[in-house]
Amino acid sequence: MRSTSAAYDGPDMKGTGIFFDGLTSARRAVTVDLRTEAIVVRDVAEGDQFARWPYDELDQLAAPEGVLRIARSGIKQLARLEVRDPALAAAIGAASIPVDRSRATEHRGRLKIVAWTCAAAVSLVLAAVFAVPLLAEHVVPLIPLRVERALGEAVNVQVRTMLDTKNDGGAFTCGASESETAGAAALDRLVHKLEAAAGLPIPLTAVAVRRSESNAITLPGGHIYVFEGLIDNAETADELAGVIAHEIGHVAHRDGTRSLLQSAGLSFLFGMMLGDFVGGGAVVIGARTLLQSSYSRDVEAAADRYGVALMGKVGGDQRALGTMLTRIGGTDHPGMRVLLDHPDTEARVAAINAAATSTSSTPLLEASEWAALKRICAGR
Ligand SMILES: [Zn+2]
């Protein structure tokens, strides 16, 4: 027969907490051991037992959010224990719910709220870690394009601010000054050729920006940033087009949106429900994710295949993307997501060449247009 009505019957569970003996002001780091009938609190370093509190004698005290603060009921001294680990707190809460209905009525439910609160916290954490990525996979196809565009606009403002480290403002974008407009027209022509063949459900906005990395970034809602360094490194219009075609693959596959949902998932889901993305921390998290994390190999490979097929549709050089990857592969861009610089560049190039079906191609821009495009950021 059990001497207490509340018990812990889960697997061995230990954690840490902070113990106050109620006599001195010392904060003691302790181990918290969930035994069958009581919590045992010991000094982390010395192992001295400070308390042994039966589950049905626990009182929950007021505490800040995220902290379970408990004391033993009915004793005069004010010893208390604080636990911040949600799993441990949930286990304590659950153990303190009486199982014997004939006794301890006054304790019944005392810690029930704690148990539920902690269980909710634990499930939120679990959801964020495990369910959101899965959810994102299934939710993305259901997101209306209008919502994706709103998301893209919100993140776009943030990403631009983060990319524009020299605070150039308007001048951060290439193509506006008098000597650059011909280049901007050439870039537009190149992008529109690809866009027309891609048949995307949303319009693209591709701009060149003054960043020295050989890189390009695609945001949700069809925003593509082509870096000056990429244009500098491209030797032909088709090489640049190959990269842009790869980026269009990310747009078509909605990779940016999925990535955002995975990183800032819950906040974005709430934002979506409320119809407001702007001003939220989720936007900052999302923008940072887009700049710093990279897509999986599979996602990149899918964008490569899309790019190769798209280059075929416009009659361009399907292998140009591979040529470009080989040239810029191995360069290092710390702190910046590098869409193109992947450790297995060779494997990617081989796959690109294997997917290429056409052997002949015509340059996507006239020589004069390409010359102008190479100078799209040269106006200052
Ligand atoms: Zn990519």
Domains present along the chain, CATH in parentheses: 13-127 (2.30.29.30), 143-374 (no CATH)
Look up residue 305 and give its amino acid. Answer: R
Give ion ligand 1 contacts, CB < 5 A. 300, 303, 339
Quote the ligand 1 centre to 15 CA distance (angstroms). Answer: 42
Quote the ligand 1 centre to 256 CA distance (angstroms). Answer: 10
Q: Per residue, what are the HEC states of the chain?
A: CCCCCCCCCCCCEEEEEEEECCCCCCCEEEEEEECCCEEEEEECCCCCEEEEEEHHHEEEECCCCCCEEEEECCCCCCCEEEECCHHHHHHHHHHCCCCCCCCCCCCCCCCHHHHHHHHHHHHHHHHHHHHHHHHHHHHHHHCCHHHHHHHHHHHHHHHHHHHCCCCCHHHHECCCCHHHHHHHHHHHHHHHHHHHHHCCCCCCEEEEECCCCCCEEEECCCEEEEEHHHHHHCCCHHHHHHHHHHHHHHHHHCHHHHHHHHHHHHHHHHHHHHCCCCCCHHHHHHHHHHHHCCCCHHHHHHHHHHHHHHHHHCCCCCCHHHHHHHHHCCCCCCCCCCCCCCCCHHHHHHHHHHHCCCCCCCCCCCHHHHHHHHCCCCCC
Quote the ligand 1 centre to 204 CA distance (angstroms). Answer: 16
Quote the ligand 1 centre to 299 CA distance (angstroms). Answer: 7
Quote the ligand 1 centre to 107 CA distance (angstroms). Answer: 58
What predicted TM-score, i.e. pTM, was given to this entire model?
0.63
pLDDT digit string (tens) for the chain, length 380 residues? 444 467 777 777 888 999 988 877 788 899 999 888 889 999 988 888 888 988 888 887 777 777 888 888 776 667 889 988 888 888 887 777 654 434 444 455 555 555 556 666 666 666 665 666 666 677 777 778 887 888 888 888 888 888 888 888 878 999 999 999 999 999 999 999 999 999 998 999 999 999 998 889 999 889 999 999 999 999 999 999 999 999 999 999 999 888 877 776 655 555 555 555 444 566 777 777 777 777 888 888 999 999 999 999 999 999 999 999 888 875 544 444 445 545 578 888 999 999 999 888 889 999 999 999 999 999 86
Quote the ligand 1 centre to 251 CA distance (angstroms). Answer: 10
Quote the ligand 1 centre to 242 CA distance (angstroms). Answer: 11
